[in-house]
Chains A and B, each alone.
Chain A
Amino acid sequence: DGGITQSPKYLFRKEGQNVTLSCEQNLNHDAMYWYRQDPGQGLRLIYYSQIVNDFQKGDIAEGYSVSREKKESFPLTVTSAQKNPTAFYLCASSTGQNLGYTFGSGTRLTVV
């Protein structure tokens, strides 16, 4: 079955550590996205990529980094520069024609 997989489901990070969240899709979608969701709030765009080896900053890119070396993969690194990283992180993908997203099931990151 085609889909988008995020791992891990839960992640704990110590202060000052970098962590990488995985996002893999087998839908053959060109575009991929990372959003952050805080309790009671909407989804805020961190980074997005329309094609391999190209990506753009979203509204809250500070303290995050991404890469897009393969069409199927769009990992997100939460760096120590991100001051408040505790949140639910959602990865999504879409085709060029169908503008709607397919979302992964999310990664809940907690700073301990």
Chain B
Amino acid sequence: GENVEQHPSTLSVQEGDSAVIKCTYSDSASNYFPWYKQELGKGPQLIIDIRSNVGEKKDQRIAVTLNKTAKHFSLHITETQPEDSAVYFCAARNTGRRALTFGSGTRLQVQP
């Protein structure tokens, strides 16, 4: 089945700096790659997603890139703010199993 690896497990940046979180997936049939943000004690919230027919997608300070050949995708957050501090999860989904497989999460801390 699908396996998703996520790095780093923790990331600390200064306010205003950029943050990059990387994920790799194992199943070449995967075609949908969302990113979720989870605040303490809450359920994850979708922040951006990308499908396999697109290489990059941007939404204000957040962008996601996908390299299908290498089977990896990344989340980029620019001009980080303290409210960006949370745990971020990547996920992948293929048409064979109609459910998401999640990475292990990255705890992002933005220092004011």
Contact = CB atoms under 8 A, between A and B. Distances in A.
A99 B32 contact: yes
A35 B49 CA distance: 20
B30 to A, nearest CB: 11
Contact of A103 (B4, B32, B43): B43
Given A90-B44, A104-B43, A99 B34 contact: yes
Nearest to B107: A40
Interface string A76-112: 0000000000000010100000011111111000000
Contacts of B105: 40-42
Contacts of B45: 103
B1 interface: yes
A50 B98 CA distance: 8
A100 B32 CA distance: 9
Interface string A31-75: 101010000111111001010000000110000000000000000
A31 B100 CA distance: 12
Contact of B99 (A48, A100, A102): A48
A33 B93 CA distance: 14
B46 A100 contact: yes
Interface in B63-106: 89, 93, 98-105
B45 to A, nearest CB: 7
B61 interface: no
Interface in B3-60: 4, 6, 9, 32, 34, 36, 41-46, 49
Interface of A: 6, 31, 33, 35, 40-45, 48, 50, 58-59, 90, 92, 99-106
Interface of B: 1, 4, 6, 9, 32, 34, 36, 41-46, 49, 89, 93, 98-105
In order of increasing CB-CB distance, the 8 nearest A-B pairs are A103-B43, A42-B104, A42-B102, A43-B102, A100-B46, A48-B99, A99-B32, A105-B43
